[in-house]
Amino acid sequence: MSVTAAQGFEAAGVAVGLKSTGAKDVAVVVNRGPRKVGAAVFTSNRAKANPIIWSEQAIADGVVEAVVLNSGGANCFTGSFGFQTTHQTAEKAAGLLGVSAGDVIVCSTGLIGSGDEVFRGKVLDGVEQGVAALSAAGGEDASLAIMTTDSRPKLAVVSRDGWTVGGMAKGAGMLAPGLATMLVVVTTDAEIEPAEADAALRRATRLTFDRLDSDGCMSTNDQVTLLASGASGLRPGLDDFALALTEVCQDLAQQLQADAEGASHDIVIQVVGAASEDDAVTVGRSVARNNLFKAAIFGNDPNWGRVLAAIGTTRAAFDPYDVDVSFNGVRVCTAGGPDRPREEVDLTPRRTEILIDLRVGAATATILTNDLTHDYVHENSAYSS
């Protein structure tokens, strides 16, 4: 049930014609309380969609009553009309739910530059239909309604002793870090304060969504929202809550990686022996964003030279002539030179593990990415057609 697995939440997903396929395209998630705690992180892209501009203001007081999400149109670079559309979306939901518009988060996803009177009318109609269809069993419909190029919905639930964290996500392209990537709604019935929710969410996204770097492209509409109802009546330890939240976010991040547009390999880049966590992240990301490396993986070629060339562009502390590199458990490079024969490496499985040992410290980090395929290029060359 994803976002309705925790007590105190209702959701719905409806179809109003934003998608040409007739599939569900507007979702509503409502926190029935008793607590109405909210926290969110947003894309760091300076080009922000109207829902991001609105939601950054709405989240400031740490109170969120509802989230309205639409697919089939990003409502980005649509001028004052677009911001008015977002405002009217929040007002419509607020009026139907009997809450303040300032406590309604709005999310949109789809083609940048799309948004007109027809779009606005369909979104507002979707809000009305969505609120009318709200139920504790509506989590799956909501997850279907936020899909764009996704091939399947992304759902995750973790339950502890009497309290639960559940979430849904969408995203298959434009997956690169910026505090958060894609659209995600996570709910919990644990009792937590707004500042605690914010800290736990930032901790979780830093270790999960922020380390998913599928194609190096950062969207204008990305946000991750956490809602807490307190309906369980239980207050877990903050570390326990943060761990459960991180587990849900990691599960969703891995599902997003597995559904990346056109990908044939899910690549896990683990960097060990780094002088600092920041260095480990920087090195891992340099490989994840290297098109030559990604193309080699698509061709099942364990080209460790491309790994060393990629990490050599960073300012991380290491000696490039004292680095070990392994592909799927086979160390093909040691101390900056050849080790085991490439023929021993099997890159035909979809999951591909790269281990980079910098041999200068004890810090580690893991970055998730995908290979670069013909299908990825084809899908994105025809995205707006």
What is the predicted pLDDT for the residue at 149? 84
Out of 109, 181, 188, 282, the active site residue is 181
What is the predicted pLDDT for the residue at 51? 96
CA dihedral in degrees (304, 308, 310, 313; nearest 10)?
A: -170
Contact 193, 35 (CB under 8 A): no
Residue 148 known to be catalytic: no
Distance CA 339, CA 326 (A): 9
> Who's near 373: CB < 8 A, 6+ residues apart?
262, 263, 264, 298
What is the predicted pLDDT for the residue at 261? 79
Strand 324-327 relative to strand 337-338, pairing: unpaired
Q: Which of 74, 55, 294 is nearest to 179 (CA)?
A: 55
Map out the domains of the chain as residue ranges.
Answer: 2-258, 266-381
Kindly state the tokens that stand for 336: 């900056």
> Mind listing the pLDDT tens digit for each residue in 56-98?
999 999 999 999 999 999 999 999 999 999 999 999 999 999 9
What is the predicted pLDDT for the residue at 38? 98
> Mind listing the pLDDT tens digit for each residue in 259-290?
887 889 999 999 999 999 999 999 999 999 99
Q: Which of 56, 122, 135 is nearest to 89 (CA)?
A: 122
> Who's near 385: CB < 8 A, 6+ residues apart?
none
Max Cα separation, the chain? 67
Does the structure show a pLDDT above 60 at 9?
yes
Q: Of 173 and 217, which is predicted with more confidence? A: 217
CATH of the domain spanning 266-381: 3.10.20.340
Topology agreement, domain 2-258 and domain 266-381: no
> Mind listing the pLDDT tens digit for each residue in 143-181?
999 998 899 999 999 999 999 999 999 987 766 656 556
What is the predicted pLDDT for the residue at 218? 82
Distance CA 50, CA 127 (A): 17
Kindly state the tokens that stand for 30: 């409502």
Kindly state the tokens that stand for 17: 């014609």
Lowest mean pLDDT among 18-22, 121-125, 248-252, 358-362: 18-22
Kindly state the tokens that stand for 143: 């997850």
CATH architecture of 2-258: 4-Layer Sandwich (3.60)
What is the predicted pLDDT for the residue at 56? 96
Contact 75, 82 (CB under 8 A): yes
Lowest mean pLDDT among 72-76, 102-106, 115-119, 133-137: 115-119
Element of type H or E holding 357: strand 351-357
